[in-house]
Amino acid sequence: MSTDTDSAPRTSPRGSAHNFFDLLRPVLRHDLPASLVVFLVALPLSLGIAVASGAPVAAGLVAAVVGGIVGGALGGSALQVSGPAAGLTVVVATTISQFGWATTCFITVAAGVLQVVFGLSRIARAALGISPVVVHAMLAGIGITIALQQIHVLLGGSSHSSAWRNVVELPGQLLHSHGPAVLIGVTVIVILLSWRHLPARLRVVPGPLVAVTAGTVLSLVLPVEVARIPLNGSLFDDLALPRLPEGNWFAVGVTVLTVALIASVQSLLSAVAVDKMHGGERTDFDRELLGQGAANVLSGLFGGLPVAGVIVRSATNVEAGARSRASAVLHGIWILVFSVALVGLVRQIPTAALAGLLIVIGIQLVKLAHIRLAHRTRDLVVYAVTIAGVVFLNLLEGVLIGLALAFGLLLWRVVRAHIVAKPLPGCEFGDHWLVTIEGSCTFLALPKLTSELARIPEQAVVRLEMSVDFLDHAAYEMIEDWVHRRRNSGGVVEFVELGSVRMAAATAGPPTRGHSRKAVEEAIGPWRRTANRVDPVVAGISAYHRGHAHLLRPHLDSLRNQQEADTFFLTCADARVVPNVITNSGPGDLFTVRNVGNLVPVGNTDASVEAALIYALEKLDVRTVVVCGHSGCGAMDALHRAVQTGQALGDWLAHAQPSLAQFRVGHPVARAAAAAGFAEVDQLAMVNVALQLETLHAHPAVNRGMRERGVAVRGLFFDLATARVIEVTVDGIAEFEDTPSRVAAEPV
């Protein structure tokens, strides 16, 4: 007797090797080439960000190595690449000037620990709740600050401690600029800006690498000395261990929180953007924070800059064809190998070349698309104020000011009500005024509301249109009192309520914000029978008068002397089928005829359908004739089960006997409906529609309309379970183009 162990398949060493190479093949084919491309992009960016931050050059390389290997291996985004980020340049530069480099490394470690706590707390998605306009403005402010700093380096000088000083000292720096440095920096800028316009086969080589290489070669050719990257010895010689701060722990704590929040938000936003670039595995945001936190802990311990997910490198990774996190890890390994073996090349790079690179990076952080979006959404003030705060105060204060302003603007928009009272021109009977109230009607709107209502003459007829999603008791009482006074003095006030909150419910409980679902419930309410509804017809008419009559009045007034129907619509008498709803038609569009089973009787036994059909074709000139069946049809169920009915109903259902006969012999429509998963009664209902189409095609009036005026004859089936409409022809069924096909049907 065999055991589970005996019967389990055994994997041979040959099979293990085969599986290993199967896993390795996509890495070698896709991730290895992509990692080389990302490495070539990340190398100059890492050096430039280190220089711009005022940190040792080796710190940028350490951060790139740790971000690539640790962040790539542990992070929640498979294709995101982490490393030193331009978005942290300003806060790192400020931290270094305030606490020194060794303490900055400690702050980086502490920020990483805090990020790990964020990840374990599963609050990663909360960081995405920050207003996008503030994030966009923060990045733009960082870009402007970087550009203001580096333009001094490009001109041969050194950057100053504040953006204001960089602006004030710029004219003097221009007068005393260093020509060779300017030439090198401008060369780098020109190459970077023009690189995207070159043929694709040339753009295989990353633009930043070409630009920095060209700037370095130019610096070696020029017969003058220029400032170069200060890197003494090897990468390991410049490593610095973190050191505890000496006092001022509150400022240190604020800086730790700032670094952790900015690095986290930037990483999460970058991960969201990367997810939109590929169709593979989606980001685990909590794991992403854990990976970023671990990378920052190690980067700080080894003397590196803070690490974050970077969109430039990540986008390059996706575009280069990466398939897994192996690409990010390998790019970190290549940077480590380069930093150890080719450190002499790093020392040859002129600071002006990196300054040109950073100026372009900074300018590109200010995106016209973000400015246009802020203008369209009326958030331009928030965008501008946040930028000014980031540039001229500091990053944290600028972001906090932007968030406070964004919240204040949101609050103002939410509680603001749009109230207008105006006379209606051209009224035939006296003075008519229209009062519209839209938005959130609260006690804050009372001054505006009383001011507008006071403008209305005493004897005017008033139509009060309310489209509000929030109504508090103060506003309700004020409106109610005003209406009562008008009516008691003989005035006329007509209420029209369009919003999701109604006056009648304002005193039933505390004020709540209305939701669109209430409008849906109101629309489908007449379909439902409830025990507490005394008279649904009367209640429905009342709701119609208050909410919809005024909308239909102009359209129906234009139709009062003639019909303009474009479709003859024959459907079942079943109350669940609402022709205007399922065809999105308005009043006057459908000439509707309903009977049990949507039948077209043949012969002289019943001429009601034929009379309506001829009237629609010859008097109304309709262009479409429709027969619409539905699922769960009672007539088809009675026909299918051969239920004994009274004489009248039995005589009527006799007109559907041909449909039953065709269903039993396997009509093509029945086979198509069965393949699509419909029950037999619904298959019969679709066959019935197909046979009514054949009857209509043979009718002289329809045939003549098809030949002379191009009248279309169409069959429909309304599936109540899915609320979808399916097309039925004489020999098959098909989904409409806007819906995915459930199952391949018979050829139509």
More confident residue, 633 or 465: 633
pLDDT at residue 28 above 50? yes
| Dihedral, CA of residue 118, residue 292, residue 253 and residue 299, to nearest 10 | 150
Do 681 and 605 have their domain in common?
yes
CB atoms within 10 A of CB 399: 24
Report which listed range, 213-227, 361-375, 589-603, is most confident: 589-603
Do 538 and 567 have their domain in common?
no
DSSP-derived secondary structure letter, 730: S
Q: Distance of CA 409 to CAs 22, 129, 391, Å? A: 56, 16, 22
- 411 in Cβ contact with 437 (< 8 Å): no
Domain count, the chain: 3
CA angle (536 as vertex; 535, 542 as ends), nearest 5 = 95
Distance separating alpha carbons of residues 300 and 281, to the nearest angstrom: 30
Q: Distance of CA 58 to CAs 239, 339, 600, Å? A: 7, 8, 86
pLDDT at residue 71 above 80? yes
Residue 723: inside a domain, yes or no?
yes
Residue 387 region by backbone torsions, left for phi larger than 0, else alpha for psi between -120 and 50, else beta? alpha
pLDDT digits (tens, 9 = 90+) for 167-224: 888 888 888 777 888 898 899 889 888 888 888 777 777 777 788 888 888 888 887 7
Distance separating alpha carbons of residues 36 and 44, to the nearest angstrom: 13
Do 377 and 470 have their domain in common?
no
> Which residue segment(s) compose the domain that 84 sits in?
27-401
Report which listed range, 19-23, 99-103, 156-160, 194-198, is most confident: 99-103
Q: Distance of CA 50 to CAs 11, 57, 461, Å? A: 50, 5, 73
Q: What CATH number is given to the structural domain containing 719?
A: 3.40.1050.10
Do 491 and 585 have their domain in common?
no
Distance separating alpha carbons of residues 385 and 405, to the nearest angstrom: 8
Per-residue model confidence (pLDDT) at position 570: 96
* pLDDT band at 86; cut points 50, 70, 90: confident
Tokens linked to 41: 């992009």
Do 386 and 462 have their domain in common?
no
pLDDT digits (tens, 9 = 90+) for 38-49: 887 787 778 878
Amino acid of residue 70: V
- Residue linked to tokens 């019935």: 688
pLDDT digits (tens, 9 = 90+) for 473-514: 888 889 889 988 888 888 888 887 777 777 877 777 777 666
Distance separating alpha carbons of residues 317 and 79, to the nearest angstrom: 7
Least confident of 344-353, 654-663, 679-688, 718-727: 344-353
* pLDDT band at 567; cut points 50, 70, 90: very high
If we measure between CA atoms, which residue out of 447, 439, 437 comes closest to residue 513?
Answer: 439
Per-residue model confidence (pLDDT) at position 492: 85
Tokens linked to 710: 């191009």
Do 229 and 166 have their domain in common?
yes
pLDDT digits (tens, 9 = 90+) for 110-120: 999 999 999 99
Q: Distance of CA 164 to CAs 175, 360, 386, Å? A: 18, 20, 16
Residue 686: inside a domain, yes or no?
yes
Amino acid of residue 79: L
If we measure between CA atoms, which residue out of 589, 708, 577 comes closest to residue 633?
Answer: 577
Do 346 and 474 have their domain in common?
no
- 388 in Cβ contact with 397 (< 8 Å): no
Do 199 and 316 have their domain in common?
yes
Residue 675: inside a domain, yes or no?
yes
Per-residue model confidence (pLDDT) at position 595: 95
Residue 3: inside a domain, yes or no?
no
DSSP assignment of 176-192, as one string?
Answer: T--HHHHHHHHHHHHHH
Element (H, E) at 307: strand 307-309
Do 238 and 308 have their domain in common?
yes
Do 511 and 659 have their domain in common?
no
Do 599 and 544 have their domain in common?
no
Do 593 and 654 have their domain in common?
yes
Q: What strands lie across the sheet with 724-728, from one edge to the other?
A: 590-595, 567-572, 624-630, 712-719, 724-728, 733-735
The stretch 238-245 carries a mean pLDDT of: 77
DSSP-derived secondary structure letter, 31: I
DSSP assignment of 492-531, as one string?
Answer: EEEEEE-SSS-GGGTTSSS-----HHHHHHHHHGGG---T
More confident residue, 459 or 580: 580
The stretch 101-110 carries a mean pLDDT of: 93
Distance of CA 227 to the CA centre of its chain: 47
Per-residue model confidence (pLDDT) at position 15: 52
Alpha helices in 54-130 (DSSP H): 57-66, 72-74, 89-99, 101-120
Q: Distance of CA 288 to CAs 122, 277, 300, 320, Å? A: 11, 17, 18, 22
Per-residue model confidence (pLDDT) at position 748: 28
Percent of the chain with pLDDT over 70: 86
More confident residue, 329 or 320: 329
Single residue among 401, 432, 455 that ends a domain in this structure? 401
Tokens linked to 650: 């039995």
Helix, strand, coil percent values for the chain (each to nearest 5): 60, 10, 30
DSSP-derived secondary structure letter, 424: P
pLDDT at residue 606 above 70? yes
If we measure between CA atoms, which residue out of 484, 476, 550 comes closest to residue 512?
Answer: 476
CA angle (126 as vertex; 60, 259 as ends), nearest 5 = 25
Element (H, E) at 437: strand 432-441
Give strand pairing partners of 419.
Answer: 437
Radius of gyration, CA atoms only, the chain: 37
Single residue among 551, 582, 604 that ends a domain in this structure? 551
Distance separating alpha carbons of residues 114 and 106, to the nearest angstrom: 12
Mean per-residue pLDDT of the chain: 82
Distance separating alpha carbons of residues 557 and 691, to the nearest angstrom: 39
